[in-house]
Amino acid sequence: MENSKGKTREDKQLKTLKIKNGANMKKFWGLRPYMEVSDFISSVKPKQLLSSEFNDILSKCEDVREYLHLANLAFELEDGKNRQKIIKTILKRALQARQEPWGYFYIARSAYENLNDKKLAKKIIVKQIKRFKINDYFLLCKQNILSKKQIKTAIKSALSSGMKRQRFVNLLDRLSEIDKYSLVCRKFYKKAKKLQTDNDEYDEECLKKEEIVQQRLDQIRNKNTKTK
């Protein structure tokens, strides 16, 4: 009887944590990526991650999406101590995989969502800022856990990346929508005047993609506002 009550209590705590992290994730990340994984990875059950099959399962992951799928799966495990250890192992392997910058953002989100580790999530993002290409900076607009100092470093990096004026202003506008960054962004608008105004074809394509993402985010935000 006690075991049954204990299990019920743990299930409730797990459910509460999922709801809490889910709410944070929506505010923190915006859209979820489309997670397409192989038939083998999609067939894995949570309990298999506790078995001797674990390393073999990890070896069959082909890209970051499959590691993230397993991390989400591991969150369903009841054993809290083993759950944390398994998720950390999965995310460590995910970080070693070759990937585009967006992958690191989603690994950071998984650390924040599945491990409730804000410090690790920040560390992953900050480490990747210097590796960004021009078309990756819009990813910064989809989260809000970086400190003002860290976001200032990111903006400086964007400023020296060769980004044209309109894209840089676009980045500042998006980041300014996050209250705690608005004052930081305000100081950079004057520096934007020194950037070139003509956008090349590649730059224009990036702007179009960002606008589509922003429209989808706005639609979700409006929908959520109506349902409240």
pLDDT tens-digit series, residues 58-69: 999 988 888 988
Same domain for 6 and 82?
Answer: yes
If asked whether residues 12 and 120 sit together in one domain, one would say yes
Q: Is the pLDDT of residue 170 over 90?
A: no
* Residue that finishes a domain, picked among 131, 165, 194: 131
Out of 113, 131, 149, pick the residue that ends a domain.
Answer: 131
* Total count of domains within the chain: 2
Identity at 48, one-letter amino acid code: Q
In this structure, are 11 and 53 located in the same domain? Answer: yes
Q: Are both 100 and 204 inside the same structural domain?
A: no
Q: Are residues 188 and 91 in the same domain?
A: no
Is 0.85 topped by the overall pTM? Answer: no
Is there a single domain that holds both residue 150 and residue 124? no
Q: Are residues 80 and 31 in the same domain?
A: yes
Is there a single domain that holds both residue 50 and residue 122? yes
Q: Which residues span the domain enclosing 224?
A: 133-228
Q: What is the pLDDT of residue 22?
A: 44
| pLDDT tens-digit series, residues 95-152 | 998 777 778 888 888 888 888 888 898 888 888 877 777 667 777 777 778 889 889 9
Domain boundary among 105, 131, 157: 131
Same domain for 79 and 143: no
Q: Pick 129 or 168 by higher pLDDT.
A: 168
